[in-house]
Structure 1
Amino acid sequence: MCGRYASTSSDKELPSMFDAMQTVGGEPSYNIAATQPVRRLVPVATSGIGP
């Protein structure tokens, strides 16, 4: 069970914690392993040259 963690915030709660617009992928879980896909916040350029 080494390296496992929990991500239990809802899809509405998670973005508001980081002043983000939305999350991408994954579902809330109490038992996430290092090899599982997880929800993530993706930065979006608001000005300047994009990626």
Structure 2
Amino acid sequence: MIGAVLLLLTFVFIIENREPAAIRVIIPIVVMPLWAALTAMFLVGLIVGLVWRRRS
């Protein structure tokens, strides 16, 4: 049940944030859907958190 709710919320999030957004990555400007940029940053944060936790 919780998985279905999370899947539905993910679907709504993607539909609501599919407009392209210009994002500055150090020097170049990258244009991508906002949901893809937010998902990428979430994954980077998740990986950093896992590495940090492993070192402690």
Q: Same fold (TM over 0.5)?
A: no
What TM-score, normalized to structure 1? 0.26
What TM-score, normalized to structure 2? 0.25
Higher RCO structure, 1 or 2 (CA under 8 Å, sep 6+): 1
Q: Radius of gyration: which is bigger?
A: 2
Q: Hey, which of these two has a bigger chunk of helix by percent?
A: 2
